[in-house]
Amino acid sequence: MIRLLGSCLTTGLMIAGAGLVGAPLACPAALDLQMHAVLLTSGNTADSPLGNGTALIVGASGLPVPPAGYVDAAETYYLAPRGFGGTTQAVVTPESLWPLTGVKNLTTDESFAQGGQILANAITQQIAGGQVDAANPVVVFGYSQGAVVETEAMKLLAEQGVPSDYVHFVMLGNPANPDGGILERFNVPIDGVSPTIPSFGLTFSGATPADLYATNIYTIEYDGFANFPRYPINFLADLNAFLGMGFSHGAYLGLTAEQIQDAIQLPAAADSLTDYYMIPAESLPLLAPLQFLPVIGKPLYDLLEPATSVLVNLGYGCITDAWCEVTDASAPTTFGLFPTNLDWAEVATALGNGVQQGIADALRDLQDPATYQPTSVLDTPALQGLLETAYRIVGGTVGNPTPTWGDMVQVGLSLLNNAVPGSISGVTIDSPPIDIFNALIANVSNDYATLLPIADTFNALLTTLPSVAISFIAQQAADGNLLGGIGEALAAATALLPLGIGFGIVAPVVEAVGLNVINLVNLFPGALEDLANLLPDIP
């Protein structure tokens, strides 16, 4: 259930959002656009205080309506520390992530576009109220898909000539990060057109502009949506990023104030209006499942982590971390074949040192009596960010700073039903037989609908991706780079094939099975809450 509460983050809690079609973007007459261009007209920068105006809070995939706890966490941990002292307002956007949000809902591209238009309208309405200026801009917060929605709104506002010092964006886990965002990493235009996967309704649409509006972007290291490897032929790095789509991408609202404050600001172009912050990972997602094993889990993790981190970091062109190669975080950066700036003697030394450190750490763990003490899986370090994210969202939503697991379940079911309408049945064992029968038929229908994205995934993997790869190789060959084109196509396939299988086949099946189990247990009123409350207290 925690994974259902973690936003786009994980694959459980997804949205509907059908019908949330925004009106065409209109620039209110009250906006005096004659006096402003989309150029910075004052000293307002990404470092400027956020002021005392209104902050518009956008949800994430699976959270079309940001819950109260989500809004509170956004303000407490990301806005207030940047000098925000105004009021917050949740903005309802589609936040659909097809097929995980239901096969009858918006495609991901449609969700991006409609969400951007809705948000742009909300921003211009705030400006039209006459209380917005450079010292008190409209602040906009978005997480995951919400950051892409912000990106779309940003472009619309620029087209309308909305002054750059009237809006300040804050983004978490941005899939459109210029260097690392998955929407830019694989944005290799063919004949001038960004690649798209029609059966998924997804276009690799490129990066968030760095020079339109003051923006702060936060990324957790190894977040597969926002910090994807530069060199995807490194399959270890890809696997680490895939697991980071859960462990890292779901943790932004669960970080401590110190972790956010200590984020590393990456270098960017002198004319960039955007500040980019990297939050170092607390653990390596690839090895995080080892931490779930009793007794032997920690020694195994500590044995493998030092050397494995080096191998994973090679996928970013680094040895020590996932950002050493970044010299301009504002520059759109697509994938490459192999890193060219590495000293392989240093790599060998780092691997040797990592092996030695791992052995020493594992031996120390085995000699520590605490290793043999029974512990809850909830104490696993890799889960702490996810757990704290859910804890803050639910606690703030129910008005209880120490929510029970029963609270977690109730809020989770409510959010899930909001995200995928009709997915949670209200039928119980005491309901009329016809209602129970209809609920059973609805479950079977939903399970059958799961076959559509599976078929679409096979179509994408067997036709669309090979077609794009051939076109890419042909384009590279025409430029005299046939071998490089073949290599880069293989590198992209190394990442995109398992990603497509995971999102288009595995995740929908897991989601369907999970919903069946929830509805089965729900036949017995209160059973889910009773089971949840058997779990230990949230750390």
Residue 258 burial (10 A CB sphere; 0-12, 13-18, 19+)? exposed
Q: Which of 7, 96, 144, 248 is catalytic?
A: 144
Alpha-carbon distance of 94 to 429, in angstroms, equals: 34
Alpha-carbon distance of 405 to 47, in angstroms, equals: 39
Q: Which pair of structure tokens corresponds to residue 138?
A: 């409209």
Residue 28 near residue 128 (C-beta atoms within 8 A): yes
Length of the chain: 539
Which of 459-496 are b and which e, b meaning 16 or more Cβ less than 10 Å from the residue's Cβ? bbbeebbeebbeebbeebeeeeeeeebbbbbebbbbbb
Phi, psi (deg, nearest 5) at residue 133: -150, -175
The residues pairing with 168 across neighbouring beta strands, listed in sequence order, are 139, 214
Cβ neighbors of 289 (< 8 A, separation 6 or more) are: 243
Alpha-carbon distance of 274 to 332, in angstroms, equals: 13
Q: Which residue has the tokens 């990404």?
A: 46
**Closest listed residue to residue 476, CA positions, set 496, 490, 462:** 490
**Closest listed residue to residue 11, CA positions, set 513, 523, 521, 503:** 503
* Identity of the amino acid at 338: F
* Identity of the amino acid at 92: V
The helix (run of H) or strand (run of E) holding residue 196 is strand 196-197
Q: Which pair of structure tokens corresponds to residue 346?
A: 């240093």
Torsional class of 409: left (φ above 0), alpha (ψ -120 to 50), beta (otherwise) = alpha
Torsion on CA atoms 21, 25, 31, 32, rounded to nearest 10: 170
Query: Catalytic site residue 7?
Result: no
Torsion on CA atoms 80, 84, 89, 90, rounded to nearest 10: -40
Catalytic residues, by residue number, are 144
